[in-house]
A and B are shown apart, each in its own frame.
Chain A
Amino acid sequence: MAHILPSAPSSLLGRFMPRSNLALARLGVVLALLALILFGALRYDGFVGLFNILSFLKFNSMFALVALGMAFVIMTGGIDLSVGAAAALASVAAAICSTYGSAAGILGGLSAGLAVGLINGVVITGLRIQPFIATLATMLAANGSALLLAGNQSVSIATDNNFMAIGLNNFLGLPIPVWIVVFAYFGGWLTLERLPVGRRILAIGDGEATAKLMGLHVERTLLGVYLFSGLMAGTAGVILASSSFAGQPTEGIGWELIAIASVVVGGTLLTGGVGSVGATLAGALLLGLVFTVINFENGKGWISLSSSWQPVIRGLFLLAVVVLQAKLAGTRRNSP
């Protein structure tokens, strides 16, 4: 039964506790991240070395970008299964276009990502198809298009211009993909927390019908969110092409799941309405870090895990974090 009185002022204890389950989840993911870094730093030589840190960040930049787009989609209560395939398609498009100059390469990759996002948005808002189905279809279509476009093999990028610089060069000591992540996440945070549209995205996730009755432009906002997810996938595709010197039509398989995992670990509700940009980044880094730790462990020679084991361990780790979050949230819910 609903409570009657406006809730009493928070207790002294309450003041020092995170206000929401989301805040607790954020706390959980940050704690897990710190614990894993500490573990790695104590156990492995070179784990906190500059080279390792930079290559870790660079490698995970693609996942972080895709996860950011996914986070916004999930906050509206939707899902975007096409991000991995869109990134692969974008990498092929970028590689092909790079022969016309680095700008053309970038533009080609981003356009491919945006095109997938546009189709998603139009099908979901215009034709009222459920996001799961719509993006499943575009995932298959993008995957096929990438293979067709690339002729079933990877496509080399042009090496006579500076398209490859994106993946190779540093700027002010940081790899360019890392800068892209910094800007994208800052923009994402600003949008979510400081711009009106961020509040509306969350309100739509809270209840689409309600949002409509409140006079929000639901279709327009959703279209924007899927376009953004496509743009992020396209950016990841450009980075992929540039740093591996080739468009990779078969890369990107399973990226959408890593992205969803990052978002969920970051405390964003799969049902929408609640979410955090910062915690999504922490979630993406956490999942990447598990991978790095396994590599280091293999390097120590104590164990030798094949690459097939990595997803298993990632999965178990993800489960552990989610259970931890549920426990934290549970203790709070049961306390008076």
Chain B
Amino acid sequence: MLLSMKDINKSFSGVSVLRDASLEVAPGEVMALIGQNGAGKSTMIKILTGAYRKDSGSIQFDGTQVDFSAPAGAQAAGIATVYQELNLAPHRTVAENIFLSREPRRWGLLDRRRMRAEASRVLARFKLELDVDRPLEDFSAATRQMVAIARGVTQNARLVIMDEPTSSLDEREVGVLFDTIRTLKADGVSTLFVSHRLSELYAVCDRVTIMRDGRTIGQHPMSEISRVELVRSMLGRELTAFATRAKDEARGSDLPVFLHAEDLHAGTRVRGVSLQVRRGEIAGLAGLLGAGRTETARLIFGADPRDGGRVAVEGRETSYREPVDAIRDGIGLVSEDRKVEGIVPELSVRENMTLAILPKLRVGGVVDRTRERAIVDRFIKALGVKCSSPEQPIRELSGGNQQKVLLARWLCTDPNLLIVDEPTRGIDVGAKAEILKLLRELADDGLSVLMISSELEELMAAADHVTVLSDGQSVAVLAADELSEERLMTEMAHQNEIGSEGARAA
């Protein structure tokens, strides 16, 4: 074994988060590590990479007993980590990012020519041709991730840890990433792959380690475990909520149309999008990353100016110039990036929830705390937000619960249409089903929902119909009975040859 972690224990202020957890990775192996949020995956990784210290247990790497006290030590030993969100140093160039902390030198000075040449050479191995002198922030998420991997490779890494590397990549980019993993594998480099997307695990991983409640509860070859078994052992219970709670009946087209958008145009990203959402239905919006989904949502919401097209709400033509105008008409937008555009991490659950309705709660300029409290209590209960109290800082909540608070923030404004952009990103399987179920219940009560999602299963499980975007244009509207993974992918790949590699098809 290249890596063998045994009987790892760790607790934070008395709360035990790892209990005799173990993890093994063989040389050249791609090992999947899965588990719900809070199962202990990231703690395990952080202990391995020296970001945390273990309380007890043993770690053997490459034949020697190790216990890294800082990330620098793990890197030197040959463990490279590609983090989900922390994407290197954005203002620094590609070449600098690859070589930071191990810059090639000549007479003590930076050897910039060699740094550039080496950077280009290692990127070429992954079929990437970049101007390595440009700041990293100029490139897409996928490219930045490749740069992070290239950084690992130049460190002569024996093990590359990828923490949810695909969460911000589109299908084609995932394909490139998988090729990279295979290249690494061919060179005998092992990969530890953390992901919430099951199909990806089957596409690229050799074995899987499953964690639950701080324990390692199984280790299987991928070929010997079915999806259902995998999910079952991860959740520790029968999975019923997902995919089954679909549409009871095909929602009648007799419902009145709430939102009608026609031939929207804006810049190069949106070039002819039409869609409609009826009262009380969940309309899906599908497409590859960059197809114009978020941009379309922002146009409807009045957050960006549109160059052309019409938006009608309940038959009335609108011309929102700012989100405030859309909000006045009862439209809400829960954005894709919870951390940046959504939550205020230091504020409490209560404060986060009532942010949008504070003006309405004012009595003579002062917030009416009693009414505020009543509203907060009602939504915490209604949405099942798990928090110790409304005063708990929201950053301490899990991703799924944070998302619920954000939904509540809009719901307490009593909206007519809620646009949700990737509502379940980075949320574990159980909470995902709960969020979807919640949206369904809200729709049943008459709320219109426009749901943007990259996850096909999610669209199939929740949407009454799905509008597919490709390259900034709406190319198809699929009714509930036409929805299949196959069909969605075909439409998304519409006139989009590069998208048809089907890398994610398991």
A: residues with CB less than 8 A from B are 1-7, 9, 19-20, 190, 194-196, 199-200, 202-203, 205-207, 209-217, 273-274, 336
Contacts and interface: CB of A to CB of B under 8 A. Distances in A.
Interface stretch (B26-34, B82-90, B395-403, B428-436): B82-90
Smallest CB-CB A-B distances: 9 pairs: A4-B290, A215-B72, A206-B89, A203-B89, A196-B103, A273-B91, A215-B75, A1-B294, A2-B141
A1 B140 contact: no
Interface string B408-423: 0000000000000000
Contacts of B135: 20
B89 A3 contact: no
Contacts of B267: 336
Contacts of B290: 1-5
B71 interface: yes
Contact of B105 (A19, A190, A196): A196
B100 A199 contact: yes
B286 to A, nearest CB: 15
12 contacts: A6-B140, A199-B100, A202-B89, A210-B89, A211-B100, A213-B71, A214-B88, A215-B75, A216-B72, A216-B101, A273-B89, A273-B90
Contacts of B195: none
A211 B75 contact: no
Contact of A213 (B81, B90, B293): B81
Where chain B touches its partner, the secondary structure class is: loop
Interface string B88-113: 11111000100011010100111000
Contacts of A2: 140-141, 168, 289-290
Contacts of A20: 135
B142 interface: yes
B199 to A, nearest CB: 20
A203 B139 contact: no
Nearest to A272: B91
Contact of B100 (A9, A205, A216): A216
B24 interface: no
B141 A6 contact: no
A209 B290 CA distance: 29
A274 B90 CA distance: 10
Nearest to B155: A215
B91 A202 contact: yes
Contacts of B269: 1
Nearest to B293: A1
B143 interface: yes
B100, B134, B269 pick with most chain A CB within 10 angstroms: B100
B295 interface: yes
Interface string B115-156: 000000000000011110011001111110000000100000
B173 interface: yes
Contacts of A210: 86-89
A209 B91 CA distance: 15
Given A203-B92, A273-B89, A213 B110 contact: no
B62 interface: no
A7, A196, A274 pick with most chain B CB within 10 angstroms: A196
Contacts of B142: 4
A140 to B, nearest CB: 28
Interface residues of B, number: 52
A6 B76 CA distance: 30
Contacts of B138: 7
B129, B143, B151 pick with most chain A CB within 10 angstroms: B143
B170 A200 contact: no
A203 B86 CA distance: 12
B446 to A, nearest CB: 30
Contacts of A194: 109-110
Given A199-B110, A213-B83, A215-B72, A4 B100 contact: no
Interface string B44-76: 000001010000000000000000001110111
Contacts of B336: 1
A225 to B, nearest CB: 16
Given A194-B109, A194-B110, A210-B89, 15 more contacts: A1-B295, A1-B336, A2-B140, A2-B290, A4-B170, A4-B172, A4-B290, A6-B130, A196-B101, A196-B110, A199-B103, A200-B101, A203-B96, A210-B87, A213-B71
A214 B71 contact: yes
Contacts of B91: 202, 205-206, 273-274
A4 B140 CA distance: 5
A203 B143 CA distance: 19
Contact of A4 (B70, B130, B151, B173): B173
A6 B498 CA distance: 14
Nearest to A19: B134
Contacts of B70: 212, 215
Contact of A207 (B71, B89, B130, B289): B89
A213 B86 contact: yes
Given A1-B295, A206-B90, A274-B91, A214 B51 contact: no
Interface string B251-294: 00000000000000001110000000000000000001110011
Contacts of A195: 108-110
Given A202-B92, A209-B86, A214 B289 contact: no
